[in-house]
Chain A
């Protein structure tokens, strides 16, 4: 069966520090991968999605970036975090566009 791992679960970072969040999927090949941010009490905002290695689409302008160095690995990065980057970050995968998405347990990011 397929599983998705996302870490760390919680992260507290100072303003201006770098960020690297990692997500890996097991049990499937060539998944579509997604990064979302969820503000408190709000819906999900799609940040990036990828349909293949090295293929990244950005949905919103921001100081975050994403990379897909391997088929089942998706990384969310920032060179310098802002206070507004605080939130709950979720990684997800699907077997194709319009298909159900399967989510990791998220990373709670707090910027001080």
Chain B
């Protein structure tokens, strides 16, 4: 069953605006990771946030984690057309620490 589910499924914004993507999950996690996938390419790891962390930053990316609500958000500030891609959250759970991916969010940034 799907552990991480992203919301919305698709997002279209104007260049320069901020993009906020959400991820909800069902069971306790070890960490949560966000990935980006350009069309027809492999996934690229963006950021990892541990279960005892609440917020992390990397460049224009800001990730928050609320373990009480079992949710995370990815904020991309000052979006660019090059940010157009699919974004996936992935959760690491359990002793075997497998990574389980959501279905992804399609972000379109209009120039």
Contact = CB atoms under 8 A, between A and B. Distances in A.
A98 B45 contact: no
B68 interface: no
Interface in B74-97: 88, 92, 96-97
Contacts of A98: 30-31, 92, 97, 99
Contact of A43 (B30, B31, B41, B104): B104
Interface residues of A, number: 19
B41 A105 contact: yes
Interface residues of B, number: 22
Nearest to B43: A103
A46 interface: yes
A44 interface: yes
Contacts of B96: 97
A18 to B, nearest CB: 24
Given A97-B96, A101-B43, 20 more contacts: A42-B103, A43-B2, A43-B88, A43-B101, A43-B102, A43-B103, A44-B101, A49-B98, A90-B42, A92-B42, A97-B92, A98-B30, A100-B33, A100-B48, A101-B99, A103-B42, A103-B44, A105-B42, A106-B40, A108-B40
A101 B48 CA distance: 11
Contacts of A106: 40-42
Interface of A: 6, 41-44, 46, 49, 90, 92, 97-98, 100-106, 108
Nearest to B33: A100
Of all A-B residue pairs in the complex, the 5 with the closest CB atoms, nearest first, are: A103-B42, A97-B97, A98-B97, A100-B45, A43-B103
Most chain B CB inside 10 Å of its own CB: which residue of A100, A104, A108: A100
19 contacts: A6-B42, A42-B104, A43-B2, A43-B88, A43-B104, A44-B43, A44-B101, A90-B43, A97-B92, A100-B45, A101-B43, A101-B45, A101-B99, A102-B45, A103-B43, A103-B44, A105-B42, A106-B40, A106-B41
